[in-house]
């Protein structure tokens, strides 16, 4: 009698399934994106991202406490300033919203790990990610402002900076200014593989960062291209990036795998606002099981090769890990 191959032997019960699990996750790999806004006593829900809020600096510690209790130890800070101008001066101001949020956060919760998004789009009056020359974003003059922003974040208490602008050469420029000012040990997580994606819509609502004209296709990547993503990742590692991010996550997991194979640094995947909003909307209609979908999306990112996962579901995923429903 011919021997029957029986892979089901390793699926017969929960204990054996967990024993042979190929993809394993841990709360320490989760990063929670957090929006800080100018003003006082503000904790306002973002309409297109149910369950996500904008926090004024005085309210921010309440959310940091919830994150800490959930076991989520890392946050990514985004700033929403009251005043915007052509050159995004609040991005690198000593009293800018992110800088003030960092100082308060470090004072209240010094053991959390603070990463800052480094970009100009939330701070410019035109909503683009750099300095304009006519209707074009001028690459090289933007590098100086991005570098100043990164330095100001680290001086205010950031543990890591994460440039998301997609200007050529910005990792090298930031690495140079940080090193020059004595911050040689501060890591850079580069949004190296960032696509011009429709999945960002709710974030632009949250941060008030939609461009006032045109789009960002001249600096963010064409969703049709994958080899270009590898080129961007390799270049940023050569410039000094310590971690490479792929954004968005769900529709670009092939790039997570390819970047992991092409580089020797940790790879992060950002499950962006559109992914979160779609799950929330479908769950509200009782069309899907929100928790199972949330967990399955996370597993898929780690299975593809991500070692770090940025997600608006960080607290919920941490709870699922604690309770053994994912991990």
Distance CA 167, CA 133 (A): 14
Q: Are 93 and 99 in contact (CB under 8 A)?
A: yes
Task: For residue 155, give both structure tokens.
Answer: 């001086």
Q: Are 36 and 98 in contact (CB under 8 A)?
A: yes
Q: Are 127 and 172 in contact (CB under 8 A)?
A: no
Residue 107 annotated to the active site: no
Distance CA 292, CA 244 (A): 27
Task: For residue 87, give both structure tokens.
Answer: 């050159």
> Cβ–Cβ contacts within 10 Å for residue 201, how many?
15
Distance CA 290, CA 286 (A): 9
> Cβ–Cβ contacts within 10 Å for residue 140, how many?
12
> Cβ–Cβ contacts within 10 Å for residue 208, how many?
15
Among 27, 84, 148, 247, the active-site one is 247
Residue 247 annotated to the active site: yes
Torsion of CA 188, 172, 85, 52, to 10 degrees: -20
Task: For residue 88, give both structure tokens.
Answer: 């995004």
Distance CA 117, CA 210 (A): 16
Whether the link from the prior residue into 288 is cis, omega within 30° of 0, is no
Q: How far is CA 181 from CA 151, 174, 177, 188, 254, in A?
A: 8, 11, 6, 15, 38
Among 148, 194, 280, 315, the active-site one is 194
- Residue of 303, 239, 234, 240 lying closest to 262 (CA atoms): 234
Please measure the distance between the N-terminal and C-terminal CA atoms of the chain and give it in whole angstroms.
40
List residues with catalytic annotation: 194, 247
């Amino acid at each position: 009698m011919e021997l029957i191959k029986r892979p089901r032997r390793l699926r017969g019960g929960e204990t054996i399934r967990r024993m042979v699990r190929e993809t394993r996750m841990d709360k320490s790999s989760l990063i929670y994106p957090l929006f800080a806004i100018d003003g006082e006593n503000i904790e306002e829900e973002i309409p297109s991202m149910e369950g996500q809020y904008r926090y004024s600096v005085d309210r921010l510690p309440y959310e940091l406490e919830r994150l800490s209790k959930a076991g989520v130890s890392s946050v990514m800070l985004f700033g929403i300033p009251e005043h915007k101008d052509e050159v995004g001066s609040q991005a690198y101001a000593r009293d800018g919203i992110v800088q003030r949020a960092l100082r308060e956060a470090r004072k209240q919760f010094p053991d959390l790990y603070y990463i800052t998004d480094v970009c100009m789009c939330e701070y410019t009056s035109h909503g683009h990610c750099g300095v304009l020359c006519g209707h074009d974003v001028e690459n090289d003059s933007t590098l100086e402002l991005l570098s100043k922003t990164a330095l100001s974040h680290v001086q205010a208490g950031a543990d890591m900076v994460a440039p998301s602008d997609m200007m050529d050469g910005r990792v090298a420029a930031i690495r140079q200014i940080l090193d020059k000012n004595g911050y040689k040990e501060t890591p850079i997580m580069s949004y190296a593989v960032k696509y011009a994606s429709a999945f960002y819509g709710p974030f632009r609502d949250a941060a008030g960062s939609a461009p006032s004209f045109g789009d960002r296709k001249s600096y963010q990547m064409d969703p049709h291209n994958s080899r270009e993503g590898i080129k961007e990742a390799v270049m940023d590692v050569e410039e000094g990036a310590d971690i490479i991010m792929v954004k968005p996550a769900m529709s670009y997991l092939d790039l997570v795998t390819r970047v992991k194979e092409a580089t020797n640094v940790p790879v992060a995947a950002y499950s962006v606002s559109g992914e979160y909003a779609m799950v929330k909307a479908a769950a509200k209609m009782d069309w899907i099981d929100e928790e199972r979908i949330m967990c399955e999306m996370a597993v898929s990112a780690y299975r593809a090769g991500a070692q770090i996962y940025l997600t608006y579901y960080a607290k919920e995923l941490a709870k699922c890990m604690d309770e053994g429903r994912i991990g």
